[in-house]
Amino acid sequence: MRVRFWGTRGSIASPGPSTVHFGGNTSCVEVETKAGKRFIFDCGTGIRALGMHLLATAPKPILATVLLSHSHWDHIQGFPFFAPLFVSGNEFTICAPEGVGGSSLSEVLAGQMEFTYFPVELGQLPAKIRFRELSEGVHDIDGVRVITQFLNHPTVTLGYRIEADGVSVLYLTDHEPFSESLWRSDAQPGGLSAILHAGDRRHADFMLGADLVIHDCQYTPEEYSAKKNWGHSTYKYVVEIAAAARVKRLALFHHDPLHDDAKLTLIERRAKSLAALRRNDLTVFCAYEGCELIVTGTGPQMTSVSVAEPEAPKQEGKRRVLVVDDDPNICLLAKAALAKDYIVLQAENGQQCMAMLDEANPDLLVLDLNMPLMGGIEVLKILRARQGFGTLPVLVLTASGDETHTRESFEAGATDHLTKPFTIPQLATRVHACFARNTAEPNKSEPV
């Protein structure tokens, strides 16, 4: 596969004399298979230059699939300036996470093309545009295998794995570590089985054996403490987890607009040094505009990845979420986050939760750990042993994000573990992701 970077920044475009090498345009990456199938990751400002290039060089008509990670502005703001959209005969399929922005995909893109903001409306574009909303799973897109998995970001965000030509390329932007600690204290760091949080382990499994991973790396470890819950990673986390997943080549991406060429050069040097300590066969670099790679494999066999198939929605109406917490403020916050999309029920403690289960018949529990009468861990253990509730998704809430509580939660059967304080979008996104997973067969990693 051929991969070319057209925009590598995050948050906002930052052109100028101090960003000449790594570039100032926001996220846009082009991928083309040997068969000529073209995929475009995100529509940041970098897509403008890509569009001009395609008009000048690509066979006509221009056909492509756009894979949007999510609808934050730095990932869609270049869409109205993608010149091939203004040429009749060109055809584009635009894919994005299911329920992106709380609206349909077409409504989200049309919103920034209203007459108040842009002179041409979405419906007036001459090119043929199809819209496709995706959940987690394996998809056939234009004859190419595309695997999707939710990332950890304040809004619903998809990571993509493209497998073609005997190689695999992943695009994982706008993702934050699930846990402050990557490794278990009782295991040797570096193997998949040593990863503490199931979410981080699942993320590593998704990129297992990849030939190229393009990964969000907006902050340094020193910057991250002030940016926690903003939905981005550090180079240390990304290098460590990519090394554990036996990734062959890692492109650090979604550069902070405040990081000039000198800063990114330093980050690249530090990331390479860390990679050398972990695995001497892991190539690491900071992505830059104009960088073009030909990704080749050693044979026709592609890496096999275990992914969760999307859970079918219930036909009778909204899903039911039971929030179990003795803090009324948390219950109010949960209701504000979830009431639009789910029926939200409440229990004040574990005993009340257990008494409500059969009648309430929830599709998911949001469960606090520290409660009077019966705590969350006890509820989990009883639940997992109870017929009919062994695979019920459970999102654990706790003010304690330390290793002991995290491990205790997952060992008792939690689906996910979210540390307080959290934001309304965070909770809504994590609940959405829990529903998308196949909880009957949890991800299991083999030691490396």
Among 20-24, 175-179, 260-264, 312-316, the least confident range: 312-316
pLDDT of residue 309: 40
Q: Which long-range contacts (CB under 8 A, 24 or more apart) does 224-230 make?
A: 228/176, 229/154, 229/176, 229/422, 229/423, 229/426, 230/154, 230/176
Instruction: Please give the Cα distance from 285 to 252 (Å, whole number).
Output: 6
Residue where the block lists tokens 């300590």: 277
Q: Please give the structure tokens belonging to residue 439.
A: 């909880």
Find, among 75, 68, 66, 71, the residue nearest to 9 by Cα: 75
Query: Is the per-residue pLDDT at 83 higher than 60?
Result: yes
pLDDT of residue 301: 34
Name the packing angle between helices 403-412 and 376-385 (round to 10°).
Answer: 20
Query: Is the per-residue pLDDT at 15 higher than 80?
Result: yes
pLDDT of residue 302: 36
Instruction: Please give the Cα distance from 73 to 112 (Å, whole number).
Output: 9
Instruction: Please give the Cα distance from 435 to 448 (Å, whole number).
Output: 29
The neighbour count for residue 93, using CB atoms within 10 Å, is: 17
**Percentage of residues in the chain with pLDDT exceeding 90?**
78
Q: Please give the structure tokens belonging to residue 281.
A: 């066969």
pLDDT tens across 368-381, in order?
Answer: 998 988 989 999 99
Q: Report, as an integer, the average pLDDT of 256-267.
A: 97
pLDDT of residue 6: 98
The CA-CA-CA angle for residues 205, 424, 156, to 5°, reads: 40
Query: Is the per-residue pLDDT at 152 higher than 80?
Result: yes
Q: If pLDDT is split at 50, 70 and 90, which confidence band does 310 have? A: very low
Q: If pLDDT is split at 50, 70 and 90, which confidence band does 154 have? A: very high
The DSSP symbol for 256 reads -
pLDDT tens across 155-177, in order?
Answer: 999 999 999 999 999 999 999 99
HSE toward the beta carbon, residue 202, CA cutoff 13 A: 27
Q: If pLDDT is split at 50, 70 and 90, which confidence band does 298 have? A: low
pLDDT tens across 406-426, in order?
Answer: 999 999 999 999 998 888 889
For residue 61, whether the previous peptide bond is cis, meaning omega lies within 30 degrees of 0, is: yes
Q: Report, as an integer, the average pLDDT of 305-325.
A: 63
Q: If pLDDT is split at 50, 70 and 90, which confidence band does 399 have? A: confident
DSSP, collapsed to helix, strand or coil, labels residue 10 as coil
Query: Is the per-residue pLDDT at 2 higher than 50?
Result: yes
Contact predicate 67/35, CB 8 Å? no
Contact predicate 57/67, CB 8 Å? no
pLDDT of residue 418: 92
Instruction: Please give the Cα distance from 170 to 168 (Å, whole number).
Output: 7
